[in-house]
Amino acid sequence: MGLVAAVCNLSISHFARAFKASTGVPPHQRLMMARVDRARALLAESTMSLVDVAVTCGFADQSHFSQTFARVMGTSPGAWRRKYRADLFDNRRRFAATLRERSRVATPFEPHLSHLTQLDAVAKASHLRQ
C-alpha cells in the first residue's frame, strides 16, 4: 500500500482514508476480496492444491488463505471447491437430460414443416414456369 500511496503523492494514512471514502472499503479489505475472487477462479478452473492457490493469490500461507476465504465466503476453500464441482456436474447432467428429452418430444410445429416444404416446392415450380 505504501508504493501506491507514494505514486499518488499521499501519505499511507491519507491514502487509506481517501481510498475508503471513495470506494466504501479500506484498501486492505479490497485487496483481500480481490485475492479471494482470484482464488475462487483458480479453485473452479484448476486442480491446483490449496497451498498453491494460496501462494498464487498472495496469501502468506494456506492457513491465512483458509481463514480469509472462510470469513468472506462462509465456507472453507476445499468445501467450496467440492460444492462448486458437484453443482457444475449436476447442471451438466440436467442439461444433457433436457437435450435428450427435447430430442424425443416432437414440437407442435413439426407437422407444419413438411407442409411448408411442399409449399416451397410448389412456389419454386410455379416461379420457374413463368
What residues have CB less than 8 Å from 23, skipping those under 6 apart? 30
CATH superfamily of 2-129: Homeodomain-like (1.10.10.60)
Per-domain boundaries in the chain = 2-129
Contact of 80 with 40, CB cutoff 8 Å: yes
Half-sphere exposure of 79 (CA within 13 A, CB side): 8
What is the pLDDT tens value at each position of the chain, 130 positions in all?
A: 788 888 888 889 988 898 899 999 999 999 999 999 999 999 999 999 999 999 999 999 999 999 999 999 999 999 999 999 888 888 888 888 887 777 766 555 555 555 555 556 556 555 555 5
pLDDT value, residue 69:
96
